C-alpha cells in the first residue's frame, strides 16, 4: 500500500475491538497513525465461536492468527436429496476459534502502537469544529468519558451504533445458530458436510469438525426462534445431541454502501459487519472483514476509495449475484446442480476458494457450459433474492 501517511497527524478512534476493528488498528498504527480502540466488553473472554475460513486469511494476516487454528478441513461433502458430491480442497480451510484470533489481533495492534481501551461503550457523538467528540460509557462504574478524534472507524458489528449515529441506514440482519455436537461415528475430522434442504432454509446446514471428536452444526435462517427450532429438528433427524449453542445476528449484503461519510467534525468509516462486508452466499464475514480493514486503511491513509475497496465491492456483488440465482432453488434444482458437476468442474472447485468467486465462476462455465444455461434460467425464473430478516435487529 502506498502510504503518504495522511493519517499520521490526526487522532483515529476505532469503536469495536473485534476482528475487523483490531486489524484496522494494527494496520493504521503500523503506518504511524495515532490509534485508540474503544471496546465495550471489559475483557477478551468472549463466548466461544467456531469459524471456518479459507486459506486467504493467512495471505492477509501473515503470521497473525496461527494460534487460533484448531483444525484443518481438506474435503467438503455436499448432500441434497440422496445425492452427494465430494470436493477435495487443494488448500485446506482453517477452523478457528474466534477468541484466540481476537487476542492475537489485539496483541499485534498493541505492538504496532495502538491503544486498546476495554470497557468503553460508544454512546453518541458531538460534532465540533475540527474534531468529533465521542461520548463513551465506562462499564465498571457507568461513568461518562469523552474522547476527541479526527477520524472515527465504526467496527462495532452488525447493529452498529456508529453507523446509526453518523446517519447510515440500518442494515438487514439474519440469525445464525450453531450447535456444538459430538461428531457422528466414523466421520473424518478433516471433512465438512453441507446439506441443501430448501424446505428448511434457502441457505444450507453445515457440520464443521473443530477437533477429532467434536464439531458445530449450523444454520442460517430468516427468523430467530424458528431458526433454532429448525436446527433442533435437523439435529434430531441426524441423531446428534446439542451440547451447547452459539448464535448471533449477521448482516445480509444486499448492495454496496459507501464506507465513508464526511461530517463537520471529521470523517467516519465503517468496516467489517458494521459495513455489511459479509459474503451473502455463505454468510462468512471474517475474510471479507479483514479485506475491508485493508481497504479502509488505504482510504484513510491515501484519501478516497482505493483499489482494495473496489475489488471487495466487485467480489461482494458477485456473491450477491450467486445468492440471487440460487436463493429460490427447490430440491430438484439443487439435485440438478449436483448432477452437473463433472470431473473438470470439481477440479475447479477444488483449486479455488470461496474467496475468489470471479476466477472460479468463469472456469465452471467453461468446463460445463450447461451450468451457465442453468444459472441464467434459474436467475431469470427464480424470483431472485430479497434480503429477508430484520432491519437493525
Ligand X SMILES: Cc1cc2nc3c(=O)[nH]c(=O)nc-3n(C[C@H](O)[C@H](O)[C@H](O)COP(=O)(O)OP(=O)(O)OC[C@H]3O[C@@H](n4cnc5c(N)ncnc54)[C@H](O)[C@@H]3O)c2cc1C
Number of residues counted as binding ligand X (CB under 6 A): 35
Q: Give me the sheet containing 144-149, strands edge to edge.
A: 120-128, 131-138, 144-149
The DSSP-derived string for 262-315 is: E-SS-EEEE-GGGGT--BTTTTB-HHHHHHHHHHHHHHHHHSS--HHHHHHHHH
Q: How far is the CB of 116 from ligand X (least distance, A)?
A: 11
Site for ligand X in 276-295 (CB under 6 A): 278, 284-286, 289
Which residue of 19, 78, 172, 259 would you call a contact of ligand X, by CB under 6 A? 19
SS3 state at 29: helix
Handedness of CA 46, 105, 355, 186 (dihedral sign): negative
Query: Segment near ligand X (CB under 6 A), from 18-26, 107-115, 294-302, 380-388?
Result: 18-26
* Nearest to ligand X of 136, 337 (CB atom): 136
Q: How far is the CB of 354 from ligand X (least distance, A)?
A: 9
Is 172 a binder of ligand X (CB under 6 A)?
no
- In terms of Cα–Cα distance, which of 249, 300, 302 is closest to 271? 300
**Would you give the binding string for ligand X spanning residues 150-169, x where CB under 6 A is met?**
-----xxx---x--------
Q: How far is the CB of 340 from ligand X (least distance, A)?
A: 27
Query: Segment near ligand X (CB under 6 A), from 110-118, 268-276, 360-368, 385-393?
Result: 268-276
The DSSP-derived string for 174-228 is: EEEEEEEEEPPTT--TTEEEEE--TTT-SS-EEEEESSSSEEEEEEE-SSHHHHH
* Nearest to ligand X of 15, 197 (CB atom): 15
Q: How far is the CB of 276 from ligand X (least distance, A)?
A: 10
Q: How far is the CB of 366 from ligand X (least distance, A)?
A: 28
Q: Which residue is nearest to ligand X (CB)?
A: 285
Q: Tell me the helix, strand and coil percentages in the chain, rounded to 5.
A: 35, 30, 35
Instruction: For residue 264, count CB atoms less than 10 angstroms from its CB and return exposed for 0-12, middle for 13-18, buried for 19 or more.
Output: exposed
**Would you give the binding string for ligand X spanning residues 29-48, x where CB under 6 A is met?**
---------xxxx-------
* Nearest to ligand X of 78, 341 (CB atom): 78
CA 107 – CA 104 distance, rounded (Å):
5
* Nearest to ligand X of 101, 371 (CB atom): 101
Can you give 342-361 as a three-state secondary structure string? Answer: CHHHHHHHHHCCCCCHHHHH
**Contact positions toward ligand X, by CB under 6 A?**
15-21, 38-41, 49, 51-53, 121-122, 155-157, 161, 176, 178, 246-248, 250, 272-274, 278, 284-286, 289
Amino acid at each position: 500500500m502506498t502510504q503518504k501517511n495522511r493519517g499520521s497527524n490526526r487522532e483515529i478512534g476505532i469503536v469495536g475491538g473485534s476482528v475487523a476493528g483490531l486489524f484496522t488498528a494494527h494496520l493504521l498504527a503500523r503506518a504511524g497513525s495515532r490509534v485508540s480502540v474503544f471496546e465495550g466488553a471489559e475483557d477478551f473472554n468472549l463466548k466461544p465461536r467456531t469459524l471456518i475460513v479459507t486459506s486467504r486469511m493467512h495471505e492477509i494476516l501473515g503470521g497473525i492468527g496461527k494460534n487460533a487454528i484448531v483444525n484443518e478441513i481438506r474435503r467438503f461433502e455436499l448432500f441434497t436429496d440422496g445425492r452427494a458430491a465430494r470436493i477435495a480442497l487443494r488448500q485446506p480451510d482453517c477452523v478457528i476459534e474466534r477468541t484466540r484470533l481476537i487476542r492475537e489481533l489485539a496483541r499485534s495492534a498493541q505492538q504496532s502502537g495502538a491503544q486498546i481501551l476495554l470497557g468503553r461503550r460508544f454512546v453518541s457523538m458531538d460534532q465540533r469544529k475540527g474534531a468529533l467528540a465521542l461520548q463513551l460509557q465506562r462499564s465498571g462504574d457507568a461513568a461518562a468519558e469523552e474522547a476527541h478524534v479526527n477520524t472515527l472507524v465504526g467496527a462495532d458489528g452488525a447493529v452498529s451504533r456508529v453507523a446509526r449515529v453518523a446517519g447510515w441506514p440500518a442494515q438487514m440482519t439474519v440469525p445464525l445458530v450453531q450447535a456444538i455436537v459430538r461428531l457422528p461415528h466414523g466421520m473424518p475430522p478433516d471433512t465438512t458436510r453441507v446439506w441443501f434442504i430448501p424446505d428448511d432454509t434457502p441457505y444450507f446446514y453445515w457440520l464443521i469438525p473443530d477437533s477429532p471428536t467434536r464439531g458445530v452444526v449450523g444454520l442460517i435462517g430468516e427468523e430467530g426462534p424458528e431458526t433454532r427450532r429448525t436446527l433442533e429438528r435437523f439435529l434430531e433427524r441426524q441423531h446428534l445431541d446439542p451440547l451447547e449453542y452459539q448464535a448471533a445476528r449477521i448482516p445480509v449484503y444486499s448492495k454496496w454502501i459507501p464506507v465513508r461519510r464526511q461530517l463537520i467534525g471529521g470523517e467516519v468509516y465503517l468496516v467489517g459487519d458494521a459495513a455489511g462486508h459479509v459474503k451473502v452466499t455463505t454468510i462468512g464475514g471474517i475474510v471479507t472483514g479483514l479485506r475491508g480493514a485493508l481497504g479502509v486503511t488505504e482510504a484513510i491513509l491515501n484519501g478516497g476509495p482505493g483499489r482494495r475497496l473496489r475489488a471487495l465491492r466487485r467480489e461482494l456483488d458477485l456473491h450477491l449475484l450467486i445468492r440471487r440465482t440460487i436463493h429460490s432453488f427447490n430440491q430438484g434444482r439443487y439435485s440438478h446442480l449436483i448432477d452437473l458437476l463433472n470431473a473438470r468442474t470439481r477440479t475447479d472447485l477444488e483449486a479455488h476458494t470461496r474467496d475468489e468467486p470471479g476466477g472460479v465462476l468463469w472456469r465452471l462455465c467453461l468446463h460445463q457450459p450447461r451450468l451457465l444455461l442453468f444459472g441464467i434460467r434459474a436467475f431469470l425464473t427464480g424470483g431472485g433474492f430479497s434480503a429477508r430478516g430484520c432491519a437493525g435487529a
